[in-house]
Structure 1
Amino acid sequence: MSLEKAQEHLAKFGKADAVMEFDTSSATVELAAAAVGCEPARIAKTLSFAVGDRVALVVCAGDARIANPKFKAQFATKPKMLSPDEAEARIGHAVGGVCPFGVNEECDIYLDESLRRFSTVFPACGSSNSAIELSPGELEEITDGTWVDVCKLPE
């Protein structure tokens, strides 16, 4: 159901047919990179946080990590990730397929600057074996996401 929800959202932008489905799991950055055939950094992972009564979905590069001070400065709270049960109920997608497409109303989508260094990235599409290739600009248009700088990259 979650994959269909993401595809319905993507269809509004003419992108439903661009969704790739794999015979193997793409539930982690490493598995997704292997399934897609790209470097792990180009996997656009979606992290979910409780921010007041809302959910902040932060889409960032596969090699990026949340920088606690930057997150707190942006959202005025410490980063608290949703549990797997909370994620599915509040976002509409289960962990392993969490994505910024076709999400519940209480979700706000943020795109981290770590994505901008790539011409295209690969976010999941609601299931643990799907992805789509989009430019950062397409991702912004399709999600109506807000650009933020809340991550750090490996040194």
Structure 2
Amino acid sequence: MPDTRTPIPDSARRVADLLRELGHDQPVVMLPETGKTSAEAAAGLGCSVAEIAKSIVFRRLSDDAPVMVVASGVNRVDEAKVAARLGPLGRADAKFVKTRIGYAIGGVCPIGHLEKTVMLIDEDLLKLDSVWAAAGHPHAVFRLTPAQLVAMTGAPVADVALRA
């Protein structure tokens, strides 16, 4: 189980401060093991992989804007669906994510970005009572409801999952 007493790194402290400013009542917690993947985070939290709200970042080709899809941990993001809504996409490498979004890969938070980020939220997350999102560090997470995620990000909800 996560520990709410472990000191948190500066990047996660920034998220904790932002959550407090937003009036969010759930703390940032530190996982004993990394939460870089949805499966690792779910194992550390004792929840289902579906309850992990993973942040996938792309680069929009038309204007080089960062594009983030917050998806259920069990879903693969269908890049063609996202591109149909937002325009052609390219790969966002670790440097792009860190310099444009403000977090290292493995701890990319859906809020508190360095610059305006184009976002979509996976409609499958809205089927859940609560989800866990990265809090700025590979070991840091916070809990929220899907409605809170939508409210905090202002992002539209869309079908982004690759379906078999």
Question: What corresponds to 1:28 in structure 2?
Answer: 37
- Aligned identity (percent) is 29
Q: Which of the numbers 68, 71, 79 marks the counterpart of 1:68?
A: 79
Q: Secondary structure of the equivalent of 1:70?
A: helix
Alpha-carbon distance in 2 for matches of 1:27, 1:16: 24
* TM-superposition CA deviations, 1:36-85 (whole Å, max 9, x none): 111111100000011123111110000111213312211121x3231112
Q: Which of the numbers 44, 49, 59 marks the counterpart of 2:53?
A: 44
Question: What corresponds to 1:11 in structure 2?
Answer: 20
Q: Does 1:97 align with 2:100?
A: no
Alpha-carbon distance in 2 for matches of 1:123, 1:80: 24
Q: Secondary structure of the equivalent of 2:121?
A: strand
Question: What corresponds to 2:144 in structure 1?
Answer: 134
Unpaired runs of 5+ residues, structure 1, are none
Q: CA RMSD in A?
A: 1.6
Alpha-carbon distance in 2 for matches of 1:152, 1:110: 14
Q: Which amino acid aligns with 1:27?
A: K
Q: CA deviation at 1:8?
A: 2.2
Q: Does 1:57 align with 2:62?
A: no
Question: What corresponds to 1:80 in structure 2?
Answer: 90
Unpaired runs of 5+ residues, structure 2, are 1-9
Tell me: higher relative CO, structure 1 or 2? Use CA pairs within 8 A at least 6 residues apart: 1
Alpha-carbon distance in 1 for matches of 2:161, 2:148: 21
Query: Taking structure 1 as the reference length, what is the TM-score of the superposition?
Result: 0.90
> Contact between 1:55 and 1:107, CA under 8 Å: does it hold in 2?
yes
> Contact between 2:26 and 2:143, CA under 8 Å: does it hold in 1?
no
Query: Taking structure 2 as the reference length, what is the TM-score of the superposition?
Result: 0.85
Alpha-carbon distance in 2 for matches of 1:128, 1:102: 16
* TM-superposition CA deviations, 1:86-123 (whole Å, max 9, x none): 11111100001011121112322321112112111111
The answer to which of 68-77 and 9-18 deviates more is 9-18
Alpha-carbon distance in 2 for matches of 1:16, 1:90: 28
